[in-house]
Amino acid sequence: MFTETSESVFAIRRLISAAGAHGLMLDEGPSACDPAFSARVSVAHAQRLRERAVRELGPALPLVVAGSIDDHLCLMQFAALSCRTMGEVLQLTVAHWRYMTDGFAVRAVRRDGAVHLQLDVPGSAPLGVRIGVEYLLATLARATCQMVGGGWRPSGIVLGHRPPVPLAAWEATCGVPVQIGDAPALVLDEEALALPVAARLSPGAGALVRELLAWYTPRPAPNIVDRVAAALVRDLASVAPTVELVAAELGLSPRSLYRQLAAAGTSYQRVLDGLRCGEAVRLATDPRRPFKAIAAAVGFADPRAFRRAFKRWTGTTPQQFRMRSAQPEDPDQRLAGAHDGDLDRAQLIEPGVEIEQLLQALDRRAVDRGQRVAGPELQRGRDRLGADAE
């Protein structure tokens, strides 16, 4: 069942309790039977709750709730305080977004020198979803301001719909410019990803909070591709089980398995090849491991068949791949390559890959700027020292 985090529910409940004359009650729904998520409710129920709360308490309710962030920090915010930089905070937010909500997804998109933490919300979203979007964006904006401190602010907030309260009220609460656009998002300048998080948690406390967040973040049910991969990955070195055996293990007929994999845009052979390719690529980066042993580890008795398959998977032979992987790659060049072409086609920032490259490039850019500034002064200082010595 889709679930909605208790965080927004708790905040709304707090305001509703303060206005007890309205008599609104929280029904935690059937998910309360799970001890780990005893305070989570279905997405549909959370939307109805928000709609009712806004009708009872006024259209500015999301801003009022976000404005109370100083008094109430959720687990996600505590975990963010264990991060070193805003780039890590962004990765954490994307990775554990399901702790916040299951109503819609989030992704980090790089665009025009900025990073958009973009909420994937349909254009014709119902009132309950729009209220949730308003609450989350306002909360994220205020939380990021507090994490960095020193008067820093995000570049802005983009709302995918026109809110029922003036944008000036939004800007007064969140402290950032607010505009209406096609996709709701919190916008950060790329340079902001390198900013340090102020008032960080101790390493021990940070590790504990991250473990708790991981525990309380729901995991999606495995899809048919994940289930087939789990059945195949147990021993890639052996002869792969037939489709009939995998289907029987999953409680399906072979025909049904073929049909479900096709609906997911893949096939049994493509799943098997993907697993073999991933393991072969991982092992090929170890220069001490013979290619014959790698071939056997991924189910190929004939090294020549493995070589042909590896070239089909990667476009290069195992030997060429190993030689290329042994050469260090400049993170600035990788980042420039992404800007030149790939970014136009796929702007999604993958956690731990693109953001990490961006942070490395920003670090190097800062060092280069420091060297360019310090270089002439340093040389003049050396000249003066030389003259004094003479």
For residue 177, give every residue at least 6 positions away whose Cβ sits within 8 Å of its Cβ, in sequence order, or none: 155, 156, 157, 171
Predicted local confidence at residue 49, as pLDDT: 84
- What is the C-alpha separation between 135 and 67, in angstroms, rounded? 10
Q: Which of 204, 153, 195, 150 has the alpha carbon at shortest distance from 174?
A: 153
Cα 146 to chain centroid distance, Å, stands at: 21
> In 188-252, which ranges are continuous DSSP H helix?
203-216, 224-233, 243-249
- Kindly list the domain boundaries of the chain, sorted by start residue: 3-216, 224-325, 331-385
Q: What angle do CA 30, 32, 37 make, to 5 degrees?
A: 125
Structure tokens at 51: 């709609």
- What is the C-alpha separation between 364 and 4, in angstroms, rounded? 41
- What is the C-alpha separation between 279 and 240, in angstroms, rounded? 15
- What is the C-alpha separation between 130 and 170, in angstroms, rounded? 15
**Whether 307 contacts 342, CB under 8 Å:** no
Burial of 204 (0-12, 13-18, 19+ CB in 10 A): exposed
Q: Which of 74, 198, 65 has the alpha carbon at shortest distance from 133?
A: 65
The pLDDT tens digits of the residues spanning 144-169 come to: 988 898 789 999 999 998 999 999 99
**Whether 243 contacts 254, CB under 8 Å:** yes
Q: Which top CATH class is 224-325?
A: mainly alpha
- What is the C-alpha separation between 92 and 210, in angstroms, rounded? 9
**Whether 241 contacts 232, CB under 8 Å:** yes
DSSP conformation class of 218: -
Structure tokens at 61: 């309710």
Q: Helix 127-148 to helix 167-174 angle, to the nearest 10 degrees?
A: 30
3 state DSSP class of 131 = helix
3 state DSSP class of 40 = coil
pTM of the model: 0.56
Length of the chain: 390
Predicted local confidence at residue 13, as pLDDT: 47
For residue 60, give every residue at least 6 positions away whose Cβ sits within 8 Å of its Cβ, in sequence order, or none: 165, 169
Which residues does the chain have with pLDDT short of 50?
A: 1-3, 5-9, 11, 13-38, 329-354, 370-390
282 residue type, one letter: R
Q: What is the CA radius of gyration of the chain?
A: 26
Query: In the beta sheet, which residues pair with residue 107?
Result: 118
Largest CA distance in the chain: 91
Output phi, psi for 41, to 5 deg.
-125, 165
- What is the C-alpha separation between 165 and 135, in angstroms, rounded? 13
